[in-house]
Structure 1
Amino acid sequence: MANGSEDDARDRPRFPVVPLAAAPTAEISDPGRILGEEIAAARGYRAQAKAANTLRAYTSDWNQFEGWCDERGVDPLPARPEAVATYLAALAMADKADTTVGRHLAAIGWKHRQDGHVAPVQRDVRMVIADTLAGIRREARARPSARKAAITASELAAMIAVADGQGTRTIRDRAIMALGLAAALRRSELVALEWRDVELVEEGLKLTLRHSKTDQEGEGQVIAVPAGKTLRPVERLKAWLAVRGGGAGPLFYQIDPQGRLTDKPMSDRSIARLIQKYAGLVGLDPGSVGGHSLRAGFLTEASRAGATIAKMQEVSRHKKVEVLLGYVRSAELFDEHAGEGFL
């Protein structure tokens, strides 16, 4: 009986263990087929563990690491901890932000786990990866912040004004700039918007963000955007929708050199380039602004207008109030200055 049980165990299919809430009670007519479907479902759920934007970033980061290893004759998989630490140092030497360096490390670990290997950090008994990363972060804290400057409402109004005419590109660009500031959107959130995410209402519009930096599980967040009197984000978005037309797909499409709409979404880098282009046209330093400047502009203007932290947080969706307080302090830097009465 003991030998028979061992033979039976060897004959059973081997598969990843997936915890079940309750054992199935119904009679199974085709165990092999049902097991195959369940394994496929488990793989599908595992694939959804990371947000789509995160997976794209991890894939890109892994490809860069693989290329670096290939150029230097180093094995990328499984990678030695010393090789990973050296790669992180190379990224820092290329002036990559410490957060970017950390994401590359996470991507390397993710790829190892996906392919059934132990992540390098878990094999790093000498802690060369941890020490290297700590040194990179310490040096980054010692450097001046490279945060992009906020674009104020008046500056954005001037930028929108120079995006003159009724061409497809200028209509789109005006809508992107006005909506980006009005909803305090990150550039990744702007390009991820779809046509179905816009609901026009009497007061303005409701914008649904299905994924964002602070909503990795995709629960969805709804932002109210007033019609406005100066930047007029709703009016500008309506003008773009009249050009774009209805139907599923990205809210903001790429436009080819001939001014024709494509069926491809814009990239987040194209948002930054767009903002820098119009900033330069109104005399701002293009190098000092970028995709984050619209979001920072909303928070700075809201603080100056006396908005409460809670109301600012409704739009910005910051999880940590400390981050918002940084914008408030910046906006109020000269208010009731200690030297105002005698300088």
Structure 2
Amino acid sequence: MVKRRHSDVEKIADFDIDQLHSLTQELEDQAYSSETWKTYNHSWKQFKAWCKKVDASPLPAELKTIQAFLSWLVKEEYSWPTIERTVCAISKFHDLEEETAQTRHIKVKKQLDGIRRSLKTKSKSKKNLTIIDLASICQAAPDKPIWWRNRAILTMGFAGALRRSEVANLKVQDVVFMNDGAILNLWDAKGARKGEVQRVGIPMGQNAMICPIQNLRKWLAFTKATEGPLFLPMKPPLGQEIWKNEPIYKETVSQVVKRGVELIGIDSAIYGGHSLRRGLATAASQANVPLARLKQHTRHKSVQSLLPYIEDSELFADNPANLIGF
């Protein structure tokens, strides 16, 4: 007996409107990763606090309020990415309340163009950490728990080209050890949809000193953790004990890099958490790793967004001065 298929008309009549509204909300929530929502909430709270101080309404916010706030961000020397993210957050929270967002006003767009142009000349990218730097840091690091953790952060962050937030948000259960190394399951990473996982391979290192797998295993042997945050805050001032069973802040990753380069006598001012990700990209480019494979590993959306990470190294590849024996 042939099963009769529902006609399109019958399908239209067979649904629950409340369930559809619920599904709509779920799909909207998945438009952004949890990390994106976290940064949006942080920016929105800052904007509300600023508005309270100047006795202005944050929602709906007047055009002059938004423009004054943007000028304040510039005066306080916030970076362009932070300012851009803040504008997105203000727009998003206005949209959620179905209010008109003055962030889209032509005057705001002109102001943002001016801010971008002025900050572009001032901005300095974080310097990449080299493999030699990384090995020197691991060798110079004291043999105590806080540096067992720090060595794992540095080598894992470098090998995986990880962002600060990705390092900070890692959980023990996100690491799957294999014969050749480990696979990291990154949940809600930048550019991913809510609930989406990105997989990153971390190979065994050829140099035991900077091997991310050996350094991670040594840290886990100390914590004895089988679940929960992978990297934990250490109790000051000696860093011999775990302070809290909570994840570290992403700013901690930057502090670890800075303390590391200071150990080997390098000025830490131009180094930060991004030095790990930039370092891997630069080293891979110098080793002639194909851009497509490098992009897959760093998880950049496009080759164009990856190029700024490796352009400096390209200045010395097939350099005309070298080729003529200068």
Give the TM-score normalised by structure 2.
0.87
Counterpart in 1 of 2:7?
A: none
Classify 1:240/1:102 alpha carbon distance in 2 versus 1 (closer, same or farther; 3 Å).
Answer: same
Secondary structure in 2 matching 1:206: strand
User: 1:47, CA displacement in angstroms?
Assistant: 3.9
2-side partners of 1:253 and 1:305: how far apart?
34
Aligned to 1:201: 178
- Cα distance, 1:326 vs structure 2: 3.5
Paired residues in the alignment total: 310
Of 247, 259, 283, which aligns to 2:240?
259
The one-character-per-residue Cα deviations of 1:128-181 (angstroms, maximum 9, x if unpaired) are 21111111112123x14410000001101111122221x321111111111010
C-alpha contact 1:303 1:327 (8 A) present in aligned 2: no
Q: Does 1:77 align with 2:54?
A: no
Q: Calculate percent identity across the aligned residue pairs.
A: 30
CA shift digits 1:29-57 (9 cap, x unpaired): xxxxx94x776665555444432111111
Change (3 A) 1:56 1:38: same
Q: How does 1:113-262 map to 2 (within 5 A)?
A: 113-121=95-103, 124=105, 127-141=106-120, 143-165=121-143, 167-230=144-207, 231-257=210-236, 259-261=240-242, 262=244
Looking at structure 2, the residues matched to 183 and 134 of structure 1 have their Cα atoms a distance apart, in angstroms, of 34
Amino acid at match of 2:287: A
Given that 2:162 and 2:277 are in contact with CA atoms closer than 8 Å, whether structure 1 keeps it comes out as yes
Contact kept, 8 Å, 1:82 with 1:128, in 2: the verdict is: no
The unaligned stretches of length 5 or more in structure 2 are 1-10
User: 2:200 & 2:26 partners in 1: Cα distance?
Assistant: 31
More divergent stretch after superposition (105-114 vs 174-183): 105-114
Structure 2 counterpart SS, 1:223: strand
Structure 1 stretches lacking a partner, 5+ long? 1-21, 29-33
Structure 2 letter corresponding to 1:134: D
1:4 aligns with none
1:108 counterpart residue number: 90
The verdict on how the C-alpha distance between 1:151 and 1:128 changes in structure 2, with shifts beyond 3 A counting, is same
Indicate if the aligned counterparts of 1:82 and 1:129 stay in contact, CA closer than 8 A: no
Paired position in structure 1 for 2:278: 296
Q: Distance in 2 between matches of 1:67 and 1:290?
A: 28
1:223–1:314 Cα contact (<8 Å) kept = no
Q: What amino acid maps onto 2:249 in structure 1?
A: S
Q: Tell me how far apart the structure 2 counterparts of residues 330 and 314 of structure 1 sit (CA, whole Å).
A: 20
Tell me the amino acid that sits aligned with residue 146 of structure 1: K
Comparing 252-261 with 95-104, which one deviates more in the overlay?
A: 252-261
For the aligned residue pairs, the C-alpha RMSD in angstroms reads 2.2
Question: Shift of residue 109 of structure 1?
Answer: 1.5
Q: CA deviation at 1:112?
A: 1.8
Is the contact made by 1:184 and 1:299 (CA closer than 8 Å) also made in structure 2?
A: yes
Using CA pairs below 8 Å that are at least 6 residues apart, which structure has the higher relative contact order? 2
